[in-house]
Structure 1
């Protein structure tokens, strides 16, 4: 019956097509902040940690940031352990658009700036002797060769994001169980 009505009435067909295109257009538009990946934001002297309020620029080691859906500004972390713990927490229900860590194969350990890479594609070195803002930390790299060279010099084991478990980045007692904090 619909077919006969549309064939018999060209304006009805045109209206139906326009309505369908309008609906598809609305669906395609959606929320613009969720349609595109957020670019990494740079830290400055006033950038503070989401968890403890520490100023990121005051401490060595890799930093991190999460861009949550529906949140304009990223949430920063003064240590990769804090970020990994947050991402792997079973109670983490906020939609994450993207998370970034710093590529320590390119960034200066003592004053890291820029060199942001996707946290889920990074290679991490756990168990090294290098310290970040919260004591022992997890170094992040974009290249496996850089992670292996770092581990050869400073100790630790290179792992991919999918290989890291929550107990490896447990924050109870301080970053990586550093009870001297």
Structure 2
């Protein structure tokens, strides 16, 4: 996919996150009222069917334009991969991650924040449902405290690149197979 198309998709996502819609390029006032939905014991991950309540680490959810029901992710890496994927063409109405400065790592509930306002910590020693994860925080101070304990690198949403959230795992890079 060329850089122009990727740039359009990223701009489209950011526009929709600010309350706009790509449908006929008209602003939508309904997007400002989207409220995150809390997970329950039956909530499953949209990508792999895992029960979110059974695993540690930050969770995520996305609302696509025209769909009032969110799609859930058992890990922030999965959401970020989906949003930054060149194949992502659905207009996003809202996306949320959990504030791990407030949520319990082992059983995170609530504390949802917009994906594009969060501070992210990549490369920490703390694992989520899928192993290494990206911790999300509403406050930079909480992210820095997490880094002091678990290591990692502080980033903002705009700085995260698709290759940083690759879901292919280590199998593609294992030369011993």
Deviations, residues 22-79 of structure 1 (Å, cap 9, x unaligned): xxxxxxxx99884533100000000000000000000000000001111121000000
Q: 8 Å contact 1:105–1:141 — kept in the other structure?
A: yes
Aligned residues: 147
CA distance in 2, matches of 1:150, 1:140: 10
Root-mean-square deviation (Å): 2.0
Q: Normalising by structure 2, what TM-score?
A: 0.79
User: Looking at CA atoms only, which structure, 1 or 2, has the larger radius of gyration?
Assistant: 1
Of the three residues 14, 39, 42, the one matched with 2:38 is 42
CA distance in 2, matches of 1:122, 1:146: 11
SS of residue paired to 2:96: strand
CA distance in 1, matches of 2:64, 2:55: 24
Of the three residues 142, 153, 158, the one matched with 1:157 is 153
Q: Normalising by structure 1, what TM-score?
A: 0.77
Structure 2: which 5+ runs fail to align? 1-25
Structure 1: which 5+ runs fail to align? 1-29
Q: 8 Å contact 2:31–2:94 — kept in the other structure?
A: no
Q: 8 Å contact 1:37–1:98 — kept in the other structure?
A: no
What residue number does 2:94 align with?
Answer: 98
Going from structure 1 to structure 2, the CA distance change for 1:32 and 1:135 (only over 3 Å counts) comes to same
What residue number does 2:107 align with?
Answer: 111
What residue number does 1:86 align with?
Answer: 82
